Amino acid sequence: MMIQVENLVKAYNGQRVVDGVSFEVAKGEIFGLLGPNGAGKTTTMEMVEGLRTPDEGKVLIDGLDAVRKPNTVKEHIGVQLQSTALFDHLTTREIILLYGSFYREMRRVEELLASFDLEEKAKTLVKHLSGGQRQRLAIAMAVVHDPKVIFLDEPTTGLDPKARRDLWAIVQRLKDEGRTVFLSTHYMEEAEQLCDRVAIMDTGRIIALDSPAGLIRQLASDSVVEFVLERPEPAQTFRDLDGVKEVKQSEDGATVLLTDRLQDTLRRLIPLADEKKWDLLGMRTRTATLEDVFLQRTGKRLTDA
Ligand SMILES: Nc1ncnc2c1ncn2[C@@H]1O[C@H](COP(=O)(O)OP(=O)(O)OP(=O)(O)O)[C@@H](O)[C@H]1O
């Protein structure tokens, strides 16, 4: 195991924002912490990185104790800084060299520029880089010393879809190079597409942990019917429809039916709506996603939680 975390706890003002978190990350894995804002992802991540001291718990990185020996651990890990923390008045090349100088050894700056598609921006001031370029630079800085483990805290927040996909390709390449990647995200699509395993976090706890496919399988229903009723009906109304395994009312007023027999469910739902004179507003069907795993476990939606 590359990362072993046991019963991590951190409290602020008596409130446990990380409340007994345990997990392991295998070598070469892309592991994701998925959860809404405020779930405790950053706090967890920074304790694993050795940047915040936990109140309780244990962190081993490649067998080294990150709580007791954070400085030894730092040589082996790369941490992507939020791009706001970059020095705006240095060029791309200068900032990579500056970061490299913090370590005993560094990779060649030309190789880093090339591998993060920043060659043409080598002499550009950091403040003139686009959002996607800044994120690529932040990752290049995190790997200047060729670390085994990379930490990325919400690496694609605020990026447009194209820049997001470019970044996913970079993360995949870090894995192909044999590195272990630990990232946090509140985008379920990112967790689903990129991560080998995902820990879903809410209010300081891990509420589910598995591969994306495994998490969806645990739902025991592969499809979702969603609609809004002008006047909400109690969940019980839908529970007995053919195929329906679970009924959830989301906070934004949508009724969400998880079903393992989509056609049968629809065949019963439509006549019922006719009979009761409901308008099924914005009705749509789709295959189940991690969003539904989150909704099922917390009753909240990931996106607006
Ligand atoms: N230094 C601190 N002092 C007091 N409260 C804190 C501190 N750091 C974090 N918190 C609180 O802990 C909770 C978890 O914060 P954290 O940043 O870990 O969440 P997150 O899941 O990373 O969310 P986000 O996506 O918004 O960064 C929040 O309620 C936050 O206000």
pLDDT at residue 230 tops 90: no
Instruction: Give the C-alpha separation, 46 to 238, whole Å.
Output: 44
Q: Can you tell me which atom of ligand 1 is nearest the CA of 40?
A: 18
pLDDT at residue 145 tops 90: yes
- In the DSSP assignment, the letter for residue 103 is S
Q: Which residues line ligand 1 (CB under 6 A)?
A: 12, 17, 35, 37-43, 186
CA distances from 93 to 74, 77, 97, 177 (A): 22, 21, 6, 23
pLDDT of res. 20 = 97
Whether 185 and 154 have beta carbons less than 8 Å apart is answered as yes
Q: Can you tell me which atom of ligand 1 is nearest the CA of 46?
A: 18
Q: If you average pLDDT over residues 4-29, what whole number do you get? A: 97
**Average per-residue pLDDT for the chain:** 92
Q: Tell me, rounded to whole angstroms, the distance of Cα 129 from its chain centroid.
A: 25
The pTM of this model reads 0.86
Q: Name the one residue in this structure whose structure tokens are 């927040």.
A: 157
CA 50–ligand 1 middle distance (angstroms): 16
CA distances from 268 to 34, 102, 140, 272 (A): 35, 65, 54, 6
Instruction: Give the C-alpha separation, 267 to 259, whole Å.
Output: 12
Residue 305 binned pLDDT confidence (cut-offs 50, 70, 90): very low
pLDDT at residue 301 tops 50: yes
Q: Tell me, rounded to whole angstroms, the distance of Cα 212 from its chain centroid.
A: 11
Q: Which of 8, 9, 12, 51 best tests ligand 1's pocket when mutated (most atoms within 8 Å of CB)?
A: 12
pLDDT of res. 197 = 98
The H-assigned helical ranges of 27-91 are 41-48, 70-74
pLDDT of res. 82 = 67
CA 37–ligand 1 middle distance (angstroms): 8
Q: Taking Cα atoms as reference points, which of 138, 134, 143 lies closest to residue 103?
A: 143
pLDDT of res. 88 = 79
| 64-103 per-position pLDDT tens digit | 999 999 999 998 999 997 666 677 789 999 999 999 998 8
Q: Name the one residue in this structure whose structure tokens are 């969003």.
A: 291
CATH 3.30.70.100 boundaries in the chain = 220-287
Tokens of 273: 């709506």
User: Which of the residue ranges 51-60, 86-95, 254-263 would you say has the lowest mean pLDDT?
Assistant: 86-95
Q: Tell me, rounded to whole angstroms, the distance of Cα 140 from its chain centroid.
A: 20
| 276-286 per-position pLDDT tens digit | 999 889 899 99
pLDDT at residue 128 tops 90: yes
Q: Give the HSE-up count for residue 148: Cα atoms under 13 Å, Cβ half-sphere.
A: 15
At 128, give phi and psi (nearest 5°): -95, 5
Tokens of 219: 């739902």
Fold of 220-287: Alpha-Beta Plaits (3.30.70)
Secondary structure (DSSP) of 12-40: ETTEEEEEEEEEEE-TT-EEEEE--TTSS
pLDDT of res. 295 = 84
Residue 126 binned pLDDT confidence (cut-offs 50, 70, 90): very high
pLDDT of res. 84 = 62
Fold of 3-211: Rossmann fold (3.40.50)
pLDDT of res. 181 = 98
Q: Give the HSE-up count for residue 26: Cα atoms under 13 Å, Cβ half-sphere.
A: 8
pLDDT of res. 219 = 80
pLDDT of res. 250 = 81
Q: What is the ipTM of this complex?
A: 0.93
CA 38–ligand 1 middle distance (angstroms): 5
Q: Which of 17, 19, 185, 300 best tests ligand 1's pocket when mutated (most atoms within 8 Å of CB)?
A: 17
Instruction: Give the C-alpha separation, 56 to 104, whole Å.
Output: 32
Residue 70: count of CB within 10 angstroms of its CB? 18
Q: If you average pLDDT over residues 144-167, what whole number do you get? A: 92
Q: If you average pLDDT over residues 137-148, what whole number do you get? A: 94
Closest residue by Cα to atom 29, ligand 1, is 38
CATH 3.40.50.300 boundaries in the chain = 3-211
Q: Can you tell me which atom of ligand 1 is nearest the CA of 186?
A: 25
How big is the chain by its Cα radius of gyration, in Å? 22
CA 39–ligand 1 middle distance (angstroms): 7
Q: Taking Cα atoms as reference points, which of 127, 144, 168 lies closest to residue 30?
A: 168
pLDDT at residue 39 tops 90: yes
Q: Which of 10, 16, 41, 304 best tests ligand 1's pocket when mutated (most atoms within 8 Å of CB)?
A: 41
Q: Can you tell me which atom of ligand 1 is nearest the CA of 43?
A: 18
CA 99–ligand 1 middle distance (angstroms): 27
Closest residue by Cα to atom 14, ligand 1, is 40
pLDDT at residue 179 tops 50: yes
